[in-house]
Structures are given as structure tokens and as C-alpha cells.
Structure 1
């Protein structure tokens, strides 16, 4: 074993094309011949990162020929800090000999702060990491000092190389892009989920079982900053469950779900809003067949609040997990975007809801997005979501039918436009099941213009309201539980995307 101390004097600042990063002095290993008898060799590196460190710190590791496996373990100190001050949190991942270029091909895995060690070899890898040969060249351990305490962040990294013949490479198997659907119908899905391939605690099999129990027809994998799970979902898909593949691109200025990308797609996350890079990677998501979905835009965790704007968004996650105050803010913000789209005569961004479930007892499918699609295929589900033909419900128990009717038999459903003259009478009808003791509200560009009596304990009912396109540019429906504190509205049980009125 060899030890090294990477003090601040040995670091060098470099620029990766978008943001400053830190590179440390490289770690060397002897040639294969020198260590053939030992079978493995270990190096330990210690150092301290100061407050104000760049977002990413790279430790180069010179990997010789003949390495079968690379293993990395790390620890760091967590000193006490005053109340209101961020303590130490250090993420970790790795890039191979192809380098750390933004959007490049060198990415081999990321576990954030979920693991203290990982390994990679040709036939296997720690969840969150990509199996494959450990080739000769300079590899880079990537550290992400998420937050640094005033005392600094002392760390220790141990790298172990095991020599020998590589195992047989793994050929990835991906889930199909089609399941046995019901033709044009309403399909239920949860597109923001985490397994043990990032910071979740459930296996894909456990998540698939919970998805079926929640009445879901489709799900989307969305591990933090890695596509490592893509090759582990084929056995969990089936005629009754469509598994889409994606990633939760977790930047320091907000998270975005890449929804339904091509298998094996990796989307880089190493940039902030000030770097003006998000547009490039949003387009990369779309080029790979995915949708761009800003996640929990008003979440309060560090780095979670969305700061990239919504110009690149295909859909926005308005409701994330059990309904809370940040969801209420997201809903109001989204409604303001609807008004702006009407005012400016431009396209609008549909809403969706997802569970963001990580571990027990996080419920899968709370909430869930119910989308009208031509079939249970990747393309049809994405088309329905992007068109806004969807509503969000707290569970499989809640079902809605929301339609607007004109004076001559015209009609339009969720996400559509009722083409009537400004003064033509319009009837809006909401049919509800599965929402006992809830109140229905019709929301327009002017605000809440109609509130129903409380639905009966059966949870079923029909609510109608009459208006005109001049009075309401759009109408959307909400189902609210009884308010815990008056006059604040109760938590959502469901809400719809809008129906636009007028020509």
C-alpha cells in the first residue's frame, strides 16, 4: 500500500469548457509485471477541500495494462457546524481513460453520496456504475463537494487495482418500447422513481411490483446522473407494464427528468445556469428520443430549486410526491405560465406529477399522471404527455372525465381547444370518481371561478359550469381535500391540464 497527501499546494485549476473544476496530482501504480505476484495494489490519498471549492474535483489515476478490476473507497469528516450552516457532503463517481470532457464518452458511473465504495470490471459493477473493461490510461475519480463546512472537508480515498484476465463483457438487455395496451385509452404512469442504482433502496423488481399494485401502466427510470440501471429493467417489464428509460439530471441549479430516452443514453449534469449549457443538453435529451421535464421546480433542498427557466421544457413536474407547500407554489407558478402563453400567443407547457419514490415507505404512484395515448408504447405515451392530454391523480382510485362543450355540439377534452366564438356559451363538465369529501374547482386565467359543494362519501359526482371564451381563456379542474387550515385550500386529490377556449 502507498499513501499520498494531496494538499492545496498540489492542486491546479482548469476549465472544462463551461465551469471551473479542480484537478489533483495524479496517482500512479507500477506496471503489471511488477505486481503480477501480488495480484493487487492499493494507493491511499488524503487531502482537504476548502470552502468555496469548485463543483467538481478530479483525481487522476494512472491505470497500467493488465488490470481486471478497479475499486474505490472513500471517507470524509463531518465536523459539527452551527445551526443554519451547511455541513460536509461529498459525492463521488468515475470517468475512464476517455476523459472528463463535458458530454464525452468517459463516464463510467456515479453514486453521489449514496455509497462509500464501488468497483468496476468487465463483467460486473456496483449499482450506479457501468461494467466494462478496465483499460490502460488515465482514469479520473470525480468528487463533488456538494456542501463544505467552514472547517473544510478532509477526505481519504483508497484505490485498489486487481490484476488478471478480464471477465467476459456483459451484453446489456433493455426493456421493450411497447407493452400490450388497450388501443386509444387512458394510461397511468409514474415517471420519477429511484432504485438502488442511485440513491434509492429498492430493487427494480420491488419497484415493478409496487407499480403494478398502484395500478400503473408505465414507469420511467430516473436515477441521479447515471444510466447504469437501463440494462437491469428488461426482466421487470411485461405486457402489463411499459418501462421507459431515462435519467434525473441532477445539477447544482435544479433537476430535470430525461423521460423515455434511448437505451444507454447518458446526459451530462456538470454545469450551472450561469454556464449557459442547459440548452445543449436539453436538445441532447430530445435527440435521444426523450422529453425534457424540470422536476420539483420549487423544492427546498440545496441545489433542487429550478433556475434554468422553462424555455426548453416539454412538460413540467408540478406535483412531486405527497402534496406539500412546494407543490402549491409550483402549481401557482405553472398557472402563471399558462396565462403568459395565452397573452403571448405561444405554446404552453403541460403539467405532470410523479412520486419521486426512493425507499420504504415512499409510495410508488402517489401521484400518478393519467395520459390519453393511442397505445401503450414509448412514442404514444410521450406524445400524449407533450400534448397535455393528461391529468394528475393521487392514486389509482381517482378518475376524471373533463370536457368543454360549445353551442353547436363542438367539444374538446383535456389538452385540447374548444373552437368557439368569444361570446358563444360554453359548458364545462367534470365527472369524478374516487374522491370522497373532495371539492371540485374550475380555474381560469382569472383564477378560481367556480367551486362545487363537497362531493359525497361515495366520491362520485358531476360538476358543471357555464362560461364564454371571452370570460375564460382556458379552464382547468382541481379536486381538493378538505382544508386543514382555513382559508387555505386543501391538498390536491387531482388536477387536470387545461382546455383552451376560443379560436
Structure 2
């Protein structure tokens, strides 16, 4: 079965309507008949071509009769050669069940694999990673296709849908991660965590077991699982949890206008991603959903040099900015510069650092965030992150503390030292595990004081200022010769969020 060539105009003509009124781009659908005696499987094929000037999402309706135990989908598309500077073909895929495809319809979502896999399977007992196991109920299912980029020649695709008939299998039983990791629980303390990580449940090549092993080896107290656009891993972390690593749930909400990890979600929470920065009401709607669920929103790798990765949404309702993503690069420096500019203008969004590790050759906890929290529990960790009581490090071998003291008072990272404008304030930073680095104290004017760390890797640096001159202070530790996994000189080794000075 084939569909005609599809342009923006004829797709909109064929489209239906979402609950919110947005156009739905429906492809010609396929209908399966009730199975005859002895029929165990049926397969139908849809082909077509997307033109370059097309919307982001297309829905292929699949009429599923009673008696189906499993759905299998295989897809492919051509990849013609394109001139230098022109983007070739790339197409994502996912699935919605008969509960509906409306924006935000969590009940309808059944899985997403982006462009990482060319096939998936769903049954009551199990599903391909990235997809949700559950009964295959009769009704209209929708394969969702997302032409990420389309070559000038167009994108010719093929989708094969196979239904297997028979009784439903044993129901899948979710096993979320435990809410505590008792072996790491230290009460009010500094906890190390990587809040942006991937597994085979999206485009990562680490299994959950491998991610847990590598996170423990990296000296982390907690991690946040943030697979792209799916909640499937959230339902299985209990199979892999240990007593010395707290596993929190998340999702990297991967839109065509940038990525924003939602972290600290209740298990099984799915956040929709089918909108752009030009739809600010939709962005706010799903940010509100994250907040109501008790989670936080991160503006991820804002200046990443990959198509669709640059963060284009507003910063004003984000909770965190990921200023350091993986080994230090020029786009991390751009992000720190931008974050510092927001801070200077009076808009402070706490900084966070994450490895965004996908594959075994990408180092977990390079970097990570060290947060002061009342306990190693979700709500306390998130409260510490949101308050900016945190600093960033390239590894667990790095230690850092920073205080500002004056007028008989003292304040730490993320806090305010209440002092009048004429009170002398001493900023003190102590570092360890950072040989060959420099320690700099900055305020809104830039770098104010710098000292070199000797071969021991430890140092205590002090500098005195006044609230009339410095609205805030923060610390950066850099290695002039570069750092792990990067050739960029003056690479970041550690950095703090600010300490604010003055009465307001």
C-alpha cells in the first residue's frame, strides 16, 4: 500500500485536529481484518515521500482488530547524497496507542526511539527499550514519524507493520528504583550527582546495569536517568538499583527547538515534546507539569553545535542551566559567558554540570554537580539544586569549598551574606585534587583575584571585597593546559554558583 508524495499543503488538507486545535498531519492509514482460522500474523506496508518543506510530525493510523498479542514495526528511508553544507535525510519514529495522540496525552504514549532503531515491538509482557509494554487493545494506533531533516531530493520512506494474533502474555510489572540509597545516606551533606545520562532506552549504548556500575565507579551518590522523550527506563530501574547509588527519574525532553531535561520525576511520568520555541504556551504547559510533579527543568547544552540541540526557549521559567556538558569545549565557554551575563543582569538561574554520557567511551561524571542537601532523597536534592547550593567538578577527585565572611557572619555557595555596603568581606576558597590549575575569584566585573595551585593540588585562596563593590562572588578552577577529553586550553576543572553580598 502506498501514499502519494506529501507536501505541506496536501498533508494539511488530510490532517485532523488535536484537542488544542493544532493541525495533525495524518498519513493514509492501514486497516487489518479480523484474523481468519489459522492466521497467526498479518503484515501491511506503507510507502511515501516527504518533501523538504514539511511539518515536524506525521501520524500513520493503524486499525488494530481484536485478538492481537503483539505489534511489530520496521521502517526505513533513503539517504541520498547531498552537497556539502546541505542536510541529508533523518527520520524519527515512535508509537501512540488508541487512547489518542493529543498533545500531552500521557495515556496514549507507547514509546519513542527517535532515529536510533529501525524497528520496535510492543506486547503485554515486554517491549523494545524506549517503548512501553502493555495490552495491545483494539482501536486506532498511530505510528508517529518525525522527519528531522529532509534532503532536497525528498525523503522516501517505508513502514512495515506486523500484527501477531493470540492471547495476551503475562502483564509487565513495573519495578521503579527505590526512594533511598542507605549506604550513601549522610544526613545534611554534599552529594555528588550526574543529572543527564542515557541508556539503551533511547540513543545510549550503555545498558542500565552498565550505567549503574560506571556511576558507582565514578564515586557518585546519585544519578538522574534522562533518556530522550520516553519514560520506559523509569519503570525498570528497580531491577538494577544498589544500596549505594540513588537513581532518580527524568526525561530529556527533545524538541526541534532544543533539549530540556526534566529531572526528579515520579516513576512513569512522560513529558510531551511535540512543539517548538514558537509555541511558548506549550512549553510553559509542560514546565508546569514538571513542577507539579515535583521535578525541575534544565536548559541543556544551550550552545551545542548540533542540529536541534541549541536551547531556544526562554530561560525565565527554567530552574537550572547546564553550563558544562561533557568534556570542556568552546560551546561550554559560550554557555558560561551567557549564564554569567544573565547573572550580571540580575537573572540568576543556578548552574549545573552533567556528563550527558551516552556510550561506554564517554565518561560518567565528567562533569557532575555537588549539591548541599539535607539528605540523599529526591526532594532534598532537588531543593539544593534549585537553591544553587552547588558546585561543578570534572571528577570525584576534585574538592572545593567556598565561603564569604564579614561582620561576624558567614555564607556559603547559593546563599546571601547580609552585610552593609561598608563591611569588609573575605572570600575564602579551598581546593584539592587540582594540580596544575588556577583558582580565580570573580564578581560582576569579572576575574578579581587569581592564584596558581602547586604540585600538591591543594590550596586556600582569599580575597577581600565590600558589598558596595561586589554584588556577588563565585569561584572558577581552570587548567591552562586543558583537561580530560578536551584540547581546549584553560579548561574548567570546577566552578561554583555565586554567593550574594549585601542586604538585597
TM-score w.r.t. the length of structure 1 is: 0.95
1: CA distance, partners of 2:131 / 2:21: 25
DSSP-derived class of the 2:274 partner: coil
Q: What are the Cα deviations for residues 343-386 of structure 1, in whole angstroms up to 9, with x where unaligned?
A: xxxx6211000000000200001001000111110111101101
Check conservation: 1:296, 1:330, Cα contact below 8 A.
Answer: yes
Moved more, 20-29 or 222-231: 20-29
DSSP-derived class of the 2:384 partner: helix
Q: What are the Cα deviations for residues 207-247 of structure 1, in whole angstroms up to 9, with x where unaligned?
A: 00000010000000100000000112113223211000010
Offset of residue 298 of structure 1: 1.1
Structure 2 match to 1:317 = 322
DSSP-derived class of the 1:260 partner: strand
Structure 2 match to 1:149 = 151
Structure 2 match to 1:85 = 86
Structure 2 match to 1:60 = 61
Check conservation: 1:92, 1:141, Cα contact below 8 A.
Answer: yes
DSSP-derived class of the 1:234 partner: helix
Offset of residue 53 of structure 1: 1.1
Structure 2 match to 1:465 = 463
- RMSD, matched Cα: 1.5
Check conservation: 1:237, 1:243, Cα contact below 8 A.
Answer: yes
2: CA distance, partners of 1:275 / 1:19: 11
Offset of residue 14 of structure 1: 4.0
Offset of residue 38 of structure 1: 2.1
Q: Does 1:232 align with 2:233?
A: no
Structure 1 match to 2:475 = 477
Check conservation: 2:5, 2:51, Cα contact below 8 A.
Answer: no
Structure 1 match to 2:6 = 8
1: CA distance, partners of 2:110 / 2:30: 18
2: CA distance, partners of 1:232 / 1:82: 44
Counterpart selection for 1:23 from 17, 22, 26: 26
DSSP-derived class of the 1:110 partner: strand
Structure 2 match to 1:246 = 250
Structure 1 match to 2:275 = 271
DSSP-derived class of the 2:223 partner: strand
Check conservation: 1:21, 1:55, Cα contact below 8 A.
Answer: no
Check conservation: 1:19, 1:271, Cα contact below 8 A.
Answer: no
Offset of residue 18 of structure 1: 6.7
2: CA distance, partners of 1:44 / 1:501: 66
Offset of residue 6 of structure 1: 4.3
Offset of residue 20 of structure 1: 4.1
Offset of residue 5 of structure 1: 3.7
2: CA distance, partners of 1:67 / 1:287: 37
DSSP-derived class of the 2:312 partner: coil
Offset of residue 314 of structure 1: 1.0
Structure 1 match to 2:304 = 299
Check conservation: 2:439, 2:461, Cα contact below 8 A.
Answer: yes
2: CA distance, partners of 1:129 / 1:229: 9
Check conservation: 1:297, 1:317, Cα contact below 8 A.
Answer: yes
Structure 1 match to 2:189 = 185
Change (3 A) 1:171 1:45: same
1: CA distance, partners of 2:210 / 2:21: 39
Q: Does 1:426 align with 2:425?
A: yes
Unpaired segments ≥5 residues, structure 1: 342-346
Check conservation: 1:67, 1:161, Cα contact below 8 A.
Answer: yes
2: CA distance, partners of 1:21 / 1:86: 25
After the TM superposition, which residues 286-435 of structure 1 pair with which residues of structure 2 at under 5 Å, given as runs? Answer: 286-341=291-346, 348-406=348-406, 408-435=407-434
Structure 1 match to 2:485 = none
Q: What are the Cα deviations for residues 383-422 of structure 1, in whole angstroms up to 9, with x where unaligned?
A: 110111100000001010100010x321000001011111
Structure 2 match to 1:344 = none
2: CA distance, partners of 1:328 / 1:19: 38
Check conservation: 2:277, 2:312, Cα contact below 8 A.
Answer: yes
DSSP-derived class of the 1:270 partner: coil
Structure 2 match to 1:94 = 95
Aligned length: 490
Structure 2 match to 1:38 = 39
Structure 2 match to 1:130 = 132
2: CA distance, partners of 1:481 / 1:59: 52
Offset of residue 483 of structure 1: 4.9
Moved more, 354-363 or 19-28: 19-28
Offset of residue 66 of structure 1: 0.5
DSSP-derived class of the 2:238 partner: coil
Structure 2 match to 1:281 = 286
1: CA distance, partners of 2:22 / 2:447: 44
1: CA distance, partners of 2:21 / 2:234: 28
TM-score w.r.t. the length of structure 2 is: 0.95
DSSP-derived class of the 1:246 partner: strand
DSSP-derived class of the 1:278 partner: helix
DSSP-derived class of the 2:382 partner: helix
Check conservation: 2:3, 2:27, Cα contact below 8 A.
Answer: no
